[in-house]
Amino acid sequence: MKLIEDIVSVPAPDCEIRTAVIRPVGDGAWPGLLLYTDIFQLTESSLRSARRLASEGFVVVVPEIYPRGPLAGVALEFDDAGKQAGLDGAASTTVAQFDSDRVAVLDYMQGRADITTLFATGFCIGGHLAFRAAFDERVTATVCFYPTGLQNGAVGADADAGSLARAAEINGRLMIVFGSQDPHVPADARLQVISALYAAGLDDVELHLYQGGEHAFMRDVGARHDPALSDLAYASAASFLRGR
């Protein structure tokens, strides 16, 4: 499927959010997929993920997660300096800002004539942000890839954003993908997440645990990338979002 790519500026209450929009060629309308990146923002690796999902028949909307301050407009390198800059960007962004940005981007998506229903997905910190996007009643399906901090609520500048405590607010369908060798979401953390979801009544969540998957196993840069597991995860996510 051929794709069209644009960079747009989405207005938020206190900033402009640089956002990539990748959609199939044509005059039709497709489901809209809000995609949150990892801490490195709009890297070519993240955009390749977005293109892959767009080719499944989605309008994929990828906002910067740090639209304020020195990281606005910056795609970070996958090195120690880039990692530290991304962590610093997270530490300086409050959950209130993340949530405000989410509303702005979903409002933008809802206003597009080529978008029908609204979905959300994300990787790493983006997986946690996608989980929070599921609180919005407009989001009808969400896929979280190895969400970090979900077990204890840690995201951005907030030590505990209370995300799991709000799980009962999720009315749409939810799928979560874990890697069995992820040190950021080890077995005890996965158990906390699953137990809290079940306790909140979300006992039909679709859960995938990929044997041998490390953290960021779907990022196609670096030694942790697992192409075979990535293929499985993308296919499962696309099938889930389409409602099979």
Helix/strand/coil for 226? coil
CB 148 within 8 A of CB 124: yes
Starting at the earlier edge strand, list the strands of the sheet with 30-36.
3-12, 15-24, 59-63, 30-36, 115-123, 139-145, 173-181, 206-214
Give the end-to-end CA distance of the chain in Å, rounded to a whole number.
19
What's 201's DSSP letter? Answer: T
- Predicted pLDDT of residue 162: 96
How many other C-beta atoms can be found within 10 angstroms of the C-beta atom of residue 30? 18
Residue 88 half-sphere exposure, CB side, CA atoms within 13 Å?
11
As given in the structure block, the two tokens for residue 220 are 């196609």
- Predicted pLDDT of residue 244: 82
Bridge partner list, 30 = 115
Distance CA 206, CA 208 (A): 7
Query: Judging by DSSP bridges, how do beta strands 59-63 and 15-24 pair with one another?
Result: antiparallel
Distance CA 154, CA 147 (A): 11
Distance CA 185, CA 188 (A): 8
In which residue ranges of the chain is pLDDT below 50? none
CA distances from 30 to 6, 8, 60, 104, 224 (A): 16, 18, 10, 20, 32
As given in the structure block, the two tokens for residue 216 are 């960021």
In the chain the domains, ranked by start, together with CATH numbers, are 3-241 (3.40.50.1820)
